[in-house]
Every structure is written in C-alpha cells, then in structure tokens.
Chain A
Amino acid sequence: MEKPTKLGLTGKGIVIVLVVAMVAYPLLGVIGTSFASQTDIIKSSGLVLWPSHPNLDAYRTVFTGGVVTRALLVSFGVTVFGTAASLLCTIGMAYGLSRRDVVGSRFILMTALFTMLFNAGVIPNFLLVKELGLYNTFAALVLPTMVSAFNLVVLRSFFMNLPEELYDAAKVDGAGDFRVLIQVVLPLSKAVLAVVGLFYAVSYWNAYFNALLYLGDADKWPLPMVLRTFVLQGQSLAEGGAGEAVAPQQAVQMAVLVVAVVPILLVYPFLQRYFTKGVLTGAIKG
C-alpha cells in the first residue's frame, strides 16, 4: 500500500498527543495538587502539575482525620470479600453451564442472561434488602450486585473454548467434575480470571450507590461515599483535630482522590495486558 503522507502523519500525531494529554493531564494534575501548597494552588488556579515545594501535609490531614482511614478499611474489606464471593459464584456457575449436556443448563443460563434485559429497579431492590434484614449491613454492599451476567458469559465461553480433549483426558484419568475444574480448567484460565476479578474488584471499590441506598450509618461508609461528602459537597475533613499541619482544602480533597485511585493504578499495569485477550474471548465469540 501507498506510503502515508507527511501531512497525514503529523495530523495523526497531534490527535494522538491530544487524546493522551486529555486523559493524563487531569490525573497528573490531581496527583500534583495533592502535594501542593496554597500559593501553588492559587498561582495555577486549581490544578498543579508540578508543585514547587511538595509536601505531605494534605495526606497527614487525610490520615489523621480518621474518617478516611475508616472508609479505606471498609472499602478494602468489601472489595476483598466481595471479589472473592463474586469470583467463586461466577466460576462455579460458568463452569457448571459450560458443558452442554448438563441437565437444565440451557434453562439456567437463560435465567441468568435474561437479567441483562431488565433490572428490577431501585424500589423493589430496596424493599427486598430491607425484608432480608440486610439494611445497614456490609452484606448489602456485596450481595445485591454479586454476580454480573456479563462476566458470567465471558467466563463461560472461555471455559467452552478450552480444548475438549483436556476434559476427556482428565475424565479418563478418573477425575471428577470438581477435580477437573480445580486442576485443569482454573490453571488454564488465569488470564481471564484476572480480568474478571479486576472487573469485580473495581466495581466494588468504586461503588457508592449500594452504600447510599442501604447504609444508614455514616460510619459504615466506604471511600466513594466519603469522597462524595468531602469533595463534591465540600464538607471539611478536619473534624477538630490538632491542626498543626494546615493543608489547603483543595490539596486535601485531591489527596483523598489520590488515595481512592492509587489501588487501581497499582493493579492496572499488571492486568492491562490481559484485557484484550480476556475480554475478547468472551465478548466476541460469546
């Protein structure tokens, strides 16, 4: 094919740089601001890319406040337990439905898939959670959104695409269905499990709506709810603390944001390479 023109190439280059900058600038700005001093913030009107005298005052305020630390613990707990529960259920169901000859698998699959078409809605869900006695419990942050039909489809079609011979060979060697899952299927599915696990973890980490609906006590709030009150609704974090470090309000807000994003930034590079592989095996073929 013909060589690209110089004009086209530079045009493309500019667009790419712009796109990358539009994503990166706000994120870097948030990180920079969290280390900035008041003069920096005023000088650069809000977002500081490169603080002149970086300091940790904002983080000191955040972590001595108690509120953020507690919310962090809640978020970590919900994310860890939620992801584990979600993965277990999804793996079991996806595997159970991955063999065509299992009794009723088609019906069960349809029962799950059909939920992609409709959502029971806020009011009935709220009433259900109340009736089940889950209101104001951490279980209400996990159970109502535990299995995602999309993740189920992704996992199931991955399991179905594993070579048939592997299942047969394991069966001939005398392995039961459960052993096949543990010793053959799961070790081969690390990539897709990593991706599905990440999807679950991220959704638990970011969830605020379940908390808003089902948690009456503010001291049970996960991090996103705390963010909402302190950053969006602008309440002050310093709840009458010692106050030796007077960090600027904006820096404190950005520090809370950073605390909320950092875990994602930490796992992201490790899992990033699986995205295309993991998602596509499910989404396209599925």
Chain B
Amino acid sequence: MAETAPTMPLEKRRKQAKAPAPPVVAAQRKLGLWQRIRRDKVMLLLTLPGLLYFVVFHYVPLIGYMVAFQDYQPYLGYMHSAWVGVSNFTAAFADPDFWSATGNTLKIAVVQLVLFFPVPIALALLLNSIVSDKLRRFVQSVVYLPHFIGWVIIVSIFQQILGGAGLLPHVLESLGLPRYDMMTDPAAFPWLLALQTMWKDAGWGTIIILAALLSIDRGLYEASAIDGAGKWRRLWHVTLPGLSPVIILLLILNLGNILTVGFEQILLQRDAVGAGAGEVLDTYVYFHGIKDNAWGVAAAVGLVKAVIGTALVIGANKFAHRLGHEGVYRGADR
C-alpha cells in the first residue's frame, strides 16, 4: 500500500506540496476531512455523476410518495393538493380489485417459485456433467441467449406458437382435439408466465450455480467415492450441500421480489387474459394511477407494496444470517 519514504521532511507544508501521496496509513489519521476531500478530489469527482443519478432517480422520488396521503391533482402539484390522511389507503383496502390483484400476485409468485426455481439448478447440474468442453460451451451459449431477448419479442414468439392463430391450436385441431388457446386462458395464466420465464432465464440462471459447482472441493468427491458412495449419493451428500449457500441466497432474493412478479411481462399480456387473472399489484398501480388518474390510491398501493417488499428482503436476509449463511448484503460488499 504505502510506499516507503523513510526521510519525509518534517514540515507539513512541504509534504503537501510535493510528495506523491504521503504514507497512507500514518497520514489518514492526521488529515482533516477537508484535506482528505482535496486529496481524493479526482476520485470523488468521478463518483459524482453516478451518485447524482442514484439520489435523483431513487431517493428524490421517495418524496413523491406523499401523493399517497393527498388528493393529488396534477395541475395543483404537490404543494397545493389537499391532504387527506390515510383515506387513500382505506379506499384501496376497500377495493375488491386490490385484493384480487394481491391474490393474483401471490398465486403467480408461488407458481413461478415452485416451477421456475429448481430449473436452473437442474440445468446447471446437467451442463456440469457434460464432459466434452466444446459441446458444453455450445449448449451454454444456446441456453444463455434468450436472456438477451426482450419481453415484447418473447411474448410475440409465444403468441405465434400458443396463440389463437398459432402452432399449437392448429396441431391440436389436426389431431382431432379441441382448439386450445393458452394465451387467453385465465386459469393457465400463472403457468404461462412461468413457462415464459423459464424459456428466457433458466439458462442464464445457471451461471451462478455453475460457478458454485466449480468451487466445491474435488477431494470431497474422491473421498466419498472411495467410501463407496454412488453417483446419486455423491450428488445428495456432496453437491447439494456445496450448493446450499447459493441456493439460499437466490431464494432470499426471490422472496424479496415476491410482490414484483414480472411487471413488463404481465403488462404485455394482461389484456389477453383480462384483468380478472392478469391484474397484479404493479399493473393495478399503473392502470389506476397513470391511466385513470387515481394518483393517491395508486401511490398508496405502491407504497404498501414497496414497504412490504423491502421488509421481506431484510427479514429473509436476517433469517439467513441466523442460519449461519452469508445472506445478501454481506456478499454484496467485500
């Protein structure tokens, strides 16, 4: 870290004028805040645009949540709109559509979690077991690809295959079976979403699990093989325990986002299945606020959702710490 400068002039003035970066450890305690800011001015200046972004587009909007307590009128603005206390919240809680949206959100989240969550793990184990390097790379680059395709395109492709004029209904018809259009079937909506998520992101989800697999000690496999463990026992007793920190981490992240179920994806398909099955909390906020100008109610619902979501992440992370796992943010800052 610090370069050796045994014969530093004692006068502090001189030191500042010339020496390229004083010995850091010793100097840090002595430098005042202002001097440190001056020393780091380039670094801080480089940080500034990004910091500005986060403050303006992530923290300042939080002030906008006061709309949740107002009868907000766009032409009056924040300052002149009337304060209404918590009546927006009571209005939302009295709205059956709100509860139906909450129910849909949870239903979709559970189906996604159960159906989608194990797939990347299974796929990663499969990829990992491919011995040929070339083949594995090929399969990987194919399964990663859909991650980079946008939702509009993916939904269009699904429309082409499953939709009314698409492949599946035709095939069913030619087999003498009744036509079935999954894209407009409210009952199938959560499954459809999970299917699309799988197509898009299952491959990409394997990256982190493959990395975790690499970090498992090879010696453990050899030792357990010598002890007579077969392939499946090794999977159960060596591989899965080795993966468990990553799996728990992913699970926590998923739980934290449980109220945010594929907003963009759902918004594209809500009309096809109708609001009864297709309305989730995010679309409720969007349609009530921006389409119907019920700003206060929409903001109130958004606020409730944001608070619960944040509490879930923090709670789940605490819980993971309890279990002796690293959790999310300790991992994020190291």
Contacts and interface: CB of A to CB of B under 8 A. Distances in A.
Interface of A: 1-2, 12, 15-16, 19-20, 22-24, 26-27, 29-30, 33, 45-47, 88-90, 92-93, 95-97, 99, 101-105, 108-113, 115-128, 130, 143-147, 149, 152-153, 157, 164, 168, 171-172, 174, 176-178, 181, 198, 202, 205-209, 212-213, 224, 227-228, 231-232, 250, 253-254, 257, 260-261, 264, 268-269, 272, 275-276, 279-280, 283-286
A117 B61 contact: no
A174 B20 CA distance: 7
B130 A261 contact: no
B49 A124 contact: no
B132 to A, nearest CB: 11
Contacts of B48: 92
Contacts of A212: 267
6 contacts: A26-B199, A96-B45, A109-B333, A124-B65, A143-B53, A276-B207
A153 B129 CA distance: 31
B311 to A, nearest CB: 10
Contacts of A102: 40, 43-44, 47
B31 to A, nearest CB: 9
A198 B145 CA distance: 12
A46 B207 contact: no
Contacts of B55: 111
Interface string B44-68: 1111111101111111111111010
Nearest to A104: B44
A205 B150 contact: yes
Interface in B151-173: 151-153, 155-157, 159-161, 165-167, 170-171
A16 B139 contact: yes
Contact of B199 (A15, A22, A153): A22
A16 B305 contact: no
A224 B123 CA distance: 30
Interface of B: 1, 3, 20-21, 24, 28, 33, 36-37, 40, 42-51, 53-65, 67, 74, 123, 126, 129-130, 135, 139, 141-146, 148-153, 155-157, 159-161, 165-167, 170-171, 174, 199, 203, 207-208, 210-212, 215, 221, 225, 231, 256, 260, 263-264, 267-268, 282, 285-286, 289-290, 295, 298-299, 302-303, 305-306, 309-310, 313-314, 329, 331-334
Contacts of A143: 53, 57
Nearest to B62: A120
A127 B46 contact: no
B264 A120 contact: no
Contacts of A115: 54, 58
Nearest to B135: A16
A168 B267 CA distance: 52
Contacts of B1: 164, 168
Contacts, number: 282
B160 A46 contact: yes
Contacts of A268: 141, 145, 148
Residue from A127, A205, A208 having most chain B Cβ neighbours under 10 A: A127
B130 A16 contact: yes
Given A117-B256, A177-B46, 18 more contacts: A12-B126, A105-B47, A108-B47, A110-B333, A125-B57, A164-B1, A171-B20, A177-B42, A181-B46, A206-B148, A206-B152, A227-B156, A231-B152, A257-B156, A260-B153, A264-B149, A284-B212, A286-B334
B39 to A, nearest CB: 8
Which are the 10 A-B pairs with shortest beta-carbon distances? Answer: A206-B150, A93-B50, A124-B64, A45-B170, A96-B47, A120-B61, A124-B61, A92-B46, A121-B302, A177-B42
Residue from A12, A101, A174, A261 having most chain B Cβ neighbours under 10 A: A101
A208 B150 CA distance: 9
Nearest to B170: A45
Residue from B130, B139, B160, B215 having most chain A Cβ neighbours under 10 A: B160
A95 B256 CA distance: 29
Contacts of B149: 206, 261, 264
Contacts of A120: 57-59, 61-62, 64-65, 306
A286 B334 CA distance: 6
A30 B143 contact: no
Nearest to A19: B143
A45 B74 CA distance: 50
